[in-house]
């Protein structure tokens, strides 16, 4: 605790009004204090309800550096359990996802239910009469809550509610989910994984840094202009009415709505459909949106589009990307990027959403990925 207190005293020098010292990005002691005070204490985004849609479905994630299992039990309740066997502390689930009625440690065969209850321990009689299975269930993450299908968890048994933590950011999740004509989304279309040698806060800053877009993503912006007639340079010009907003609680937003409304255009489904040959799917999508929300509200949703925002400490929405930040060490970070879909339009719009999600990623991406920049900065 003395180490943590000493760093708290130093932060006033490390973080000034016009500059931030590099130690904030590479000092292992600062990183471990962040783990303690943020990742192991605050609400952290861990997954989506659709990833464990059926009883017995599970995915494995991390809360900070603590491995956890997100599993739906037989009663349909979503639970977040520590992925550590109560016998010797080994990982119980080795796979990233799966379906099972029992969670079995491969080391000594201790077996647990999806609720975390210990079902069996081989040769348990040898532990003596004091051994009780009720005492050796998997540890449960103290607090778990969801909003619009997005699951958050906290290793701290006390603290602010999820509603208090999200604050104004709840409206950003609403904005994202309401792009679906069903009023809900699924995140089951796969995940793209990236890892870079750099601090987790670099991905945070990238998500709320509109300065780089005109340079790093110039090729993608030029192609979008050629295909749709929408000049994306307007989003970063000095005359742009688009705003960067701090929402409190660590959350931030690139608010492009003033620019889109000034342009006076709803999402131009017809021009984009002609460009990519998907007139039928886009038309059906717009009609479904109008049926659910009414024509006027649907046009407003389509005009505003999905949010471009950061929800503290690890959830990012960029267009139709859902990014989850996972720190590995002070100098290494993983990013998990998913794309949403709706049940009704899963097949017809999957390719469109995929292209939107991955246009700036991968080896043949139109826009250069930013992870190489993080590496250069870290070096």
- Interval 309-337 mean pLDDT: 96
CA gap 256, 271 in Å, rounded: 21
**103, pLDDT greater than 50:** yes
CA gap 209, 39 in Å, rounded: 23
CA gap 123, 8 in Å, rounded: 50
Residue among 298, 295, 321 nearest 308 (CA): 321
Alpha helices in 15-90 (DSSP H): 23-26, 28-34
CA gap 274, 224 in Å, rounded: 13
CA gap 277, 312 in Å, rounded: 38
Please, what is the Cα angle at 46 between 62 and 85, to 5 degrees?
40
25-78 tens-digit pLDDT: 999 999 999 999 999 999 999 999 999 999 999 999 999 999 999 999 999 999
Residue among 38, 91, 27 nearest 61 (CA): 91
Alpha helices in the chain (DSSP H): 2-14, 23-26, 28-34, 162-166, 169-177, 200-207, 213-216, 218-228, 257-263, 269-276, 279-293, 295-304, 350-358, 371-378
Residue 241's Cβ-side half-sphere holds a number of Cα atoms within 13 Å equal to 7
Write down the pLDDT at residue 268: 47
Q: How many helices (H) and strands (E) does the chain have?
A: 14, 17
Whether 347 and 327 have beta carbons less than 8 Å apart is answered as no
- Interval 291-298 mean pLDDT: 94
Q: Coil, helix or strand for 315?
A: strand
Write down the pLDDT at residue 271: 46
111-169 tens-digit pLDDT: 999 999 999 999 999 999 999 999 999 999 999 999 999 999 999 999 999 999 999 99
Q: Coil, helix or strand for 377?
A: helix
112: left (phi over 0), alpha (psi -120 to 50) or beta: beta
246-266 tens-digit pLDDT: 999 999 999 988 887 777 654
CA gap 49, 52 in Å, rounded: 6
- Interval 225-231 mean pLDDT: 75
pLDDT band at 203 (very low <50, low <70, confident <90, very high): very high
Per-residue exposure over 212-230, b if at least 16 CB sit within 10 Å of its own CB, e if not? ebeebbeebbeebeeebeb
CA gap 93, 59 in Å, rounded: 9
Whether 342 and 181 have beta carbons less than 8 Å apart is answered as yes
Write down the pLDDT at residue 40: 96
Write down the pLDDT at residue 4: 46
**233, pLDDT greater than 80:** no
Give the percent of the chain with pLDDT over 90: 62
Whether 186 and 179 have beta carbons less than 8 Å apart is answered as no
Instruction: Compute CA distances 25 → 11, 15, 40, 276, whole Å.
Output: 12, 11, 19, 42
Write down the pLDDT at residue 313: 98
Instruction: Give me the chain's average pLDDT, please.
Output: 86
Question: Higher pLDDT residue, 5 or 337?
Answer: 337
Question: Higher pLDDT residue, 230 or 177?
Answer: 177
């Amino acid at each position: 605790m003395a180490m943590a207190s000493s760093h708290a005293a130093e932060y006033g020098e490390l973080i000034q009004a016009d500059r931030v010292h590099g130690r904030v990005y590479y000092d292992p002691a600062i990183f471990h204090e962040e783990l303690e005070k943020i990742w192991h204490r605050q609400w952290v985004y861990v997954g989506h309800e659709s990833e464990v849609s059926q009883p017995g479905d599970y995915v494995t994630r991390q809360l900070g550096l603590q491995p956890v299992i997100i599993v739906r039990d037989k009663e349909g309740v979503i639970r977040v359990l520590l992925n550590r066997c109560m016998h010797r502390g080994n990982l119980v689930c080795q796979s990233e996802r799966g379906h099972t009625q029992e969670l079995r440690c491969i080391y000594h065969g201790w077996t647990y239910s999806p609720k975390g209850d210990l079902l069996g321990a081989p040769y348990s009689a040898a532990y003596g009469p004091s051994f009780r299975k009720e005492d050796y269930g998997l540890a449960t993450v103290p607090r778990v809550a969801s909003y619009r299908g997005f699951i958050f968890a906290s290793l701290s048994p006390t603290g602010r509610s999820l509603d208090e933590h999200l604050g104004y950011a709840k409206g950003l999740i609403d904005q994202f989910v309401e792009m679906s004509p069903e009023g809900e989304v699924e995140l089951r279309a796969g995940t793209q994984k990236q890892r870079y040698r750099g601090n987790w806060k670099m991905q945070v800053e990238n998500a709320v840094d509109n300065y780089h877009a005109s340079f790093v993503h110039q090729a993608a912006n030029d192609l979008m202009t050629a295909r749709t007639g929408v000049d994306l340079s307007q989003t970063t010009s000095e005359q742009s009415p688009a705003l960067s907003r701090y929402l409190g609680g660590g959350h931030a937003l690139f608010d492009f709505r003033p620019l889109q409304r000034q342009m006076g255009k709803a999402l131009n489904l017809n021009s984009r459909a002609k460009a990519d040959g998907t007139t039928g799917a886009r038309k059906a999508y717009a009609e479904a949106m109008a049926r659910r929300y009414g024509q006027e509200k649907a046009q407003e949703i389509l005009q505003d589009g999905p949010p471009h925002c950061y929800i503290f400490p690890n959830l990012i929405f960029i267009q139709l990307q859902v990014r989850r930040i996972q720190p590995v060490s002070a100098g290494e970070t993983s990013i998990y990027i998913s794309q949403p879909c709706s049940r009704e339009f899963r097949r017809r719009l999957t390719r469109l959403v995929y292209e939107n999600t991955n246009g700036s990623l991968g080896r043949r991406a139109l826009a250069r990925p930013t992870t190489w920049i993080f590496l250069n900065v870290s070096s």
